[in-house]
Amino acid sequence: MRRYYQPEIETAPREKILEIQNEKIVRQVRHVWDNVPYYRDLMMKKGVTPEDIRGVEDIKKLPFLSKADLRDAYPYGLLGTDLKNCVRIQSTSGTTGKRVVAFYTQHDIDLWEDCTARAIVAAGGSEEDVLQVAYGYGLFTGGAGIHGGSHKVGCLTLPMSSGNTERQIQFMMDLGTTILCCTPSYAAYIGESLAEQGYKPEDNKLKAGIFGAEPWTEEMRRDIEQKLGIKAYDIYGLTETSGPGVAYECEEQHGMHINEDHFYAEIIDPDTGEVLPDGEKGELVFTALDKEAFPLLRYRTRDICVLNRTPCSCGRTHVRMSKPMGRSDDMLIIRGVNVFPSQIETVLLNEGYTPNYQIVLDRARNTDTFDVYVEVSADQFSDLMSQIQKMEKSLEAALRTMLGISPKVHLVAPKTITRSEGKAVRVVDKRKLHD
């Protein structure tokens, strides 16, 4: 059985990787300078020209890109090539005002799928495997990314998309799925559903799972591994950089190898922007080294993590990133969907509520629970219970439209939401996702 998808690069000596990166970054900065006026302006403001970038050592001279830049430049401002060269878009979960639309040339799709193929092989995948993709298909990168990698590896690919758990289980059992790919919470849910139907872990043919797109804990990993009788691998990525597969776990299950021939990683101090030495905790920043259509340089992920450059027993030489330990902004990831508290505030104001609310997140049966407590104002209050319940339902619907996921809305009396030092506590996260 093959251990690596592209051994020559995955196990390349460090000097070789550095050489590749140095060569690619020089070319990439020139490509961006020539084709992306938005970023050229940022470089000019910082007094940097392509001549200043002679290798990855010089990346720290380049300006950062953030989500705000993606919004300002939406939709075509960061496009690095003519649209006629692009073959696809993918998009984030579609939260108004924060939507990210990423463009891909065929070359970009190929390198992305190489990345997910490496992740699949690292999880023990080969052409002998039956790989069930239970990530959502469509604009979301999860389904498409894993699907493409699965084809490259030669697995029999089951393009299930997410949901319809009955059908997932039926295909899994009838066709003998060996590798399951979905969000960790959905994997846990499938595990519970299997148990409810009387299946024991040894009844299925599963051997591995590749789970990502939302934060999960070691405890959850053990739970999923036990329920499904598999080894569970983490995978990381974001639409801005291509999708899942930017980094992935090997059999060591100790940090995710970053595909450094395509993505250069830095850890910075989120407040000062200073690059931090290896091993220090900070914000993860990615530079796409060879993407054509959406070539983001120094993109701030807002994920807080640590890089580990110690050699890995799996033989891969690429740096490992820890699971994200938090965020440097207020973004929440709920059931795999990115949610900003400000979006909830916008909906409340649109619907005639006060902005006095509290988001409470917890986990029940390994799935995120999402409750929003909202204070009712005097002019909204009715003596009819049915009226108040209708208000809750209609607010739930408005929030679902904005966020893409459904919270449970609880209307509460004025001044009942916990305030700390006069400021309302907006988010109570009981999920304990980070140690």
Per-residue b or e along 95-105, where b marks 16 or more CB atoms closer than 10 Å to that residue's CB: beebbbbbbbb
Say how far apart CA 67 and CA 73 lie, in whole Å. Answer: 10
Answer yes or no: are the C-beta atoms of 179 and 125 closer than 8 Å.
yes
Beta bridge pairs of residue 243 = 238
Helices vs. strands in the chain: H and E counts, helices first: 11, 23
Say how far apart CA 284 and CA 321 lie, in whole Å. Answer: 9
Q: Residue 393: which residues within 8 A CB-CB, separation 6 or more? A: 409
Decide whether 174 or 383 has the Cβ nearer to other proteins.
Answer: 383
411 contacts other proteins (rule: CB under 8 A) = yes
18 contacts other proteins (rule: CB under 8 A) = no
Candidate segments 64-72, 129-137, 204-212, 383-391, binder of other proteins by CB under 8 A: 383-391
205 contacts other proteins (rule: CB under 8 A) = no
Residue count (the chain): 435
Candidate segments 226-234, 264-272, 275-283, 378-386, binder of other proteins by CB under 8 A: 378-386
List the one residue from 106, 350, 382, 401 that touches other proteins (CB under 8 A): 382
Q: How far is the CB of 345 from other proteins (least distance, A)?
A: 21
Q: How far is the CB of 409 from other proteins (least distance, A)?
A: 10
Decide whether 164 or 382 has the Cβ nearer to other proteins.
Answer: 382
List the one residue from 8, 383, 421, 435 that touches other proteins (CB under 8 A): 383
Pairing of strands 357-364, 367-375: antiparallel
Answer yes or no: are the C-beta atoms of 337 and 183 closer than 8 Å.
no
List the one residue from 139, 412, 424, 427 that touches other proteins (CB under 8 A): 412
Q: How far is the CB of 359 from other proteins (least distance, A)?
A: 15
Place of tokens 């470089």: 43
Token pair of 151, please?
């084809």
384 contacts other proteins (rule: CB under 8 A) = yes
List the one residue from 352, 381, 393, 406 that touches other proteins (CB under 8 A): 381
What DSSP element (H or E) covers 135?
none
Reference 365, options 168, 192, 182; nearest CA is 192
**Which residues between 26 and 45 bind other proteins (CB under 8 A)?**
none
Candidate segments 113-121, 215-223, 336-344, 384-392, binder of other proteins by CB under 8 A: 384-392
**Which residues between 103 and 122 bind other proteins (CB under 8 A)?**
none
Q: How far is the CB of 385 from other proteins (least distance, A)?
A: 5
410 contacts other proteins (rule: CB under 8 A) = yes
Reference 102, options 80, 117, 119, 134; nearest CA is 80
| Three-state SS at 132 | strand
**Which residues between 358 and 377 bind other proteins (CB under 8 A)?**
376-377
Q: Please, where are the H alpha helices in 176-326?
A: 184-196, 218-228
Q: How far is the CB of 408 from other proteins (least distance, A)?
A: 10
Decide whether 226 or 416 has the Cβ nearer to other proteins.
Answer: 416
Terminal-residue alpha carbon distance, the chain? 36
386 contacts other proteins (rule: CB under 8 A) = yes
List the one residue from 170, 350, 389, 401 that touches other proteins (CB under 8 A): 389
Say how far apart CA 407 and CA 187 lie, in whole Å. Answer: 21
* Interacting residues with other proteins (CB under 8 A): 376-378, 381-386, 388-389, 410-414, 416
